[in-house]
Amino acid sequence: MSHSPSRSVVIVVIAIALQVALGTRSPALQAQSAEISDLPKCQPFSTFPDLIASPAYSRDNTLFVKGFDPDLHDGFIIYSTDGGFSWTNPMLISHWAIVDVVFSPNYFNDQTIYLADTGNVLAHSTNSGRSWTSIPRLSTEGMSSLALTGANTVFLGVGGGPPYWYPQQGLFYSGDAGSRWERLYEGGVHDVALSPDYGDDHTILIGIAGYHWNGGILKSTDNGRTWQPSREGLPWGADGVTRDIAFSPGYAEDHTVFCLSWQGLYKSTDDGTTWQRLAPVPDGAPWGSIEQFLVSPRYPRDQTVWLRGDREGQLLSTDGGTTWRQMSHTVQPIAVAEAYCPQGGDCGVELFGYTWDSEHDYVYKSFDGGMTWHCLESAVTPMPTPTPPPPAPEIPEASTLSLLAGGLAGLAGYLRRYRR
């Protein structure tokens, strides 16, 4: 027997879908007039800048933007291979809004990208996005999230709501680029994340689409065959819906994971066994409003995390989330990448952000964690770290030279007497 969602649930789902599809901001953000007078005047961006940086950005300078054209009712991709100076024409990929774009861990060599849309349609590219191939559609219901372990190995999470309304949701796995799928978990999955050392530790975390059945996170260390709860310290119930999970790049050593729920940003330093809330709900707010957080690709060294929220504003932490400070500009951080790697030296971090006025969006880049911003299309590059000069040879003082000369003369006299 089939079941139909109640009218209120349908309205909520439609509202969320429209917000994702049209790239709209929350009402409070729409009412906010971003102050950009103290920022450089940039070229208007033609679409809401839902920007993703290539994992090989330091070598290929490639950026992607996913968007939705409400006039054509199509989801599209544009990309730049010169760090945002120029962009391709929109490539129409789907009749739905694109909700997730992920890269192969070996992207620089295999050039493989996968995407998913709000209609659970999948596609992949093996030439860095220049062309796309549709993947046979699964009969699933709900919003999709993707994770890759290689060019052909894909995890697909689908979450829509209560299982009696959405029986075809869950976590699915394909080892042949989406030709065949195996369901590893039955139930709503709002996000799926893989350890950066997945090949060694086989660790998967999934955010359970909450409703009223606890929510939180499940963890597997055997490729998704068995699951254990990973929710101590996380809120339960509908507030426990985990919307985003991110591993520290140094997870093998620091065992650190971040996740975002309706109650704020959380962090675990014991492989997900326990969680602590980092960014509390603002005073007087019924729940948190964090829209996105970013973990520095150099996190093991710089301990940097950014977040942006309707009520929270733009916050920066350089101690792993223990303390936070407001960023000095209204630019909203949206992406971060390891960049400008000098030969034989440490890579830097490039942060991307956007702001807007009543007519346009503008995209910026920062090389100092968001303290100063430059137009994305500008030719500004980070100042190279100067190479320290070699230490100057130490010049002995005059008294030292006299003492040295006397000592040498004495040694010479001793050697002459010894030879006699």
pLDDT of residue 417: 47
pLDDT at 322 over 80: yes
Q: Which of 136-145, 213-222, 246-255, 390-399 is the least confident region? A: 390-399
Segment 343-359 shows an average pLDDT of 86
Contacts of 310 (CB under 8 A, 6+ apart): 26, 28, 29, 289, 291
In this structure, are residues 355 and 364 in contact, taking their beta carbons and an 8 Å threshold?
yes
Q: Compute the average pLDDT of residues 56-74.
A: 88
Residue scoring higher pLDDT (389 or 284): 284
- What one-letter code names the amino acid at 321? G
287 pLDDT higher than 80: no
Query: Encoding tokens for residue 219?
Result: 């963890």
CB-CB contact of 139 with 157 (8 Å): no
Residue 410 has what pLDDT? Answer: 52
Per-residue pLDDT, averaged over 335-348, amounts to 82
Contact 96, 119 (CB under 8 A): yes
- In which band, very low, low, confident or very high, does the pLDDT at 128 lie, cut at 50, 70 and 90? very high
**Torsion angle (degrees, nearest 10) of CA 184, 190, 192, 193:** -150
Cα separation, 241 vs 187, in Å, equals 13
Q: What is the pLDDT of residue 2?
A: 36
**CA 319 to mean position of chain CA atoms:** 18
Each domain of the chain, given as residue ranges in start order, spans 7-375
Per-residue pLDDT at 1: 39
| Dist. CA 260–CA 271, nearest whole Å | 16
Is residue 256 pLDDT above 80, yes or no? yes
Assign a CATH topology to domain 7-375.
Answer: Methylamine Dehydrogenase; Chain H (2.130.10)
Q: Do the Cβ atoms of 82 and 54 come closer than 8 Å?
A: no
Q: For residue 275, which of 236, 323, 220, 314 has the smallest C-alpha distance? A: 236
Q: Partners of 77 in the beta sheet?
A: 66, 91
Q: 190 and 242 in contact (C-beta within 8 Å)?
A: yes
Beta bridge partners of 337: 350
Q: Dihedrals φ, ψ of 403, to 5°?
A: -65, -40
pLDDT for res 234: 86
Residue 73 has a CB neighbour count (10 Å cut-off) of: 13
What are the helix (H) ranges across 100-202?
A: 107-110, 198-201
Residue in 279, 366, 308, 325 with CA at minimum distance from that of residue 316? 325
Report pLDDT for 214: 56
* Distances in whole angstroms, Cα of residue 214 to Cα of each of 263, 269, 370: 14, 22, 37
3-state DSSP assignment of residue 363: strand
Average pLDDT of span 60-66: 95
| Percentage, residues of the chain above pLDDT 70 | 76
Q: Which of 361, 320, 365 is nearest to 340 (CA)?
A: 365
Please say if the pLDDT value at position 95 is more than 80: yes
Model confidence at 156, in pLDDT bands (50, 70, 90)? very high
pLDDT at 143: 85
Q: Quote the pLDDT of residue 21.
A: 40
Distance CA 52, CA 335 (A): 6
Answer left, alpha or beta for residue 218, where phi above 0 means left and psi between -120 and 50 means alpha. Answer: beta
Tally of helices (H runs) and strands (E runs) in the chain = 8, 28
User: Are 57 and 339 in contact, with CB atoms under 8 Å apart?
Assistant: yes
- Is the pLDDT at 87 greater than 90, yes or no? yes
pLDDT tens-place string over residues 202-220: 999 999 865 445 578 999 9
- The whole-angstrom separation of Cα 348 and Cα 341 is 6
| Helical ranges in 205-278 per DSSP H | 251-254
Nearest C-alpha neighbor of 270 from the set 295, 248, 241:
248
Most confidently predicted of 220-224, 236-240, 262-266, 409-413: 220-224
> Which tokens go with 274?
């326990």
Give the residue among 346, 355, 380, 387 at the shortest CA–CA distance from 366: 380
Q: What is the pLDDT of residue 380?
A: 83
- 111-120, 145-154, 378-387: range with lowest mean pLDDT: 378-387
pLDDT of residue 131: 94
Q: Outline where DSSP puts E strands in 288-347.
A: 290-295, 305-309, 313-317, 325-326, 332-339
Q: What is the pLDDT of residue 11?
A: 33
- Reported as a single tens digit per residue, the pLDDT across 104-123 is 999 999 999 999 988 888 99
SS3 of 117, please? strand
